[in-house]
Amino acid sequence: MPAIEDHAYDFLKERIAAAVSGDAGYGAELHDTVYRRIEKTFGIRIGDADSDLEPNPGATEMEEFDGHMPLVIFSLVEGSDRSDRKAARSRMIALAKWVGKQFIDDPTMGGRVNDSRIKRWPRGWDSIESKPYSVANARLLVNETGGQIE
């Protein structure tokens, strides 16, 4: 069974491909890891997951539960004044909302998982490859059992 990082990547890849002009996700760059080189001005990076590994109901195979992973949503600051930072943050927030809506519309990621949802959206600024970005580190919860998640 693929890792939950792979499920999230494949799901978002399909959703980006299906996006139409005017959607915040249209043309977004998607990385399967945070270590890929950024080529576009905005996109999504799949971070490393942390989950419990338990037998699935029926105990036929092992499955990931209570998984959480960061989805790093980024937008390049394309200038040096406040309006450029504001524009980058607005573009990042629009993309973050679009990403969140994908998981609301299909919490099973097309049948790949039992459920998923975005839990938190901490955001701020970062320097990636010596360039300034507005970023959100969304916390994606996958196959939540309702148990204590640290």
Number of structural domains in the chain = 1
- What is the distance between the alpha carbons of residues 25 and 16, in angstroms, rounded to a whole number? 6
pTM over 0.75: yes
Q: How many CA atoms lie within 13 A of 86 on its CB side?
A: 3
Dig out the tokens for 25 from the structure: 């996700």
Rounded mean pLDDT of the chain?
A: 93
> 127 in a domain, yes or no?
yes
Dig out the tokens for 4 from the structure: 């939950």
Contact 135, 73 (CB under 8 A): yes
DSSP label of 88: H
Q: What is the pLDDT of residues 41-54, one digit of tens each?
A: 999 999 999 998 88
Contact 69, 9 (CB under 8 A): no
- Shortest CA distance to 141 belongs to which of 32, 65, 47? 65
Identify the domain containing residue 123 by its residue range.
4-142
Residues 97/138/33/50 CA torsion (nearest 10 deg): -140
> 79 in a domain, yes or no?
yes
Coil/strand/helix, residue 82 = helix
Q: How many CA atoms lie within 13 A of 126 on its CB side?
A: 15
> For residue 132, what is the domain's CATH number?
3.30.70
> 37 in a domain, yes or no?
yes
> 136 in a domain, yes or no?
yes
> 10 in a domain, yes or no?
yes
Q: CB neighbours (10 Å) of residue 126?
A: 13
In the predicted model, what is the mean pLDDT of residues 36-43?
97
Q: What is the pLDDT of residues 74-123, one digit of tens each?
A: 999 999 999 999 999 999 999 999 999 999 999 999 999 999 999 899 99
> 25 in a domain, yes or no?
yes
Q: What is the pLDDT of residues 6-34, one digit of tens each?
A: 999 999 999 999 999 999 999 999 999 99
> 150 in a domain, yes or no?
no
Q: What is the pLDDT of residues 61-73, one digit of tens each?
A: 888 899 999 999 9
> 100 in a domain, yes or no?
yes
User: What pLDDT band is residue 55 in, cutting at 50, 70 and 90?
Assistant: confident
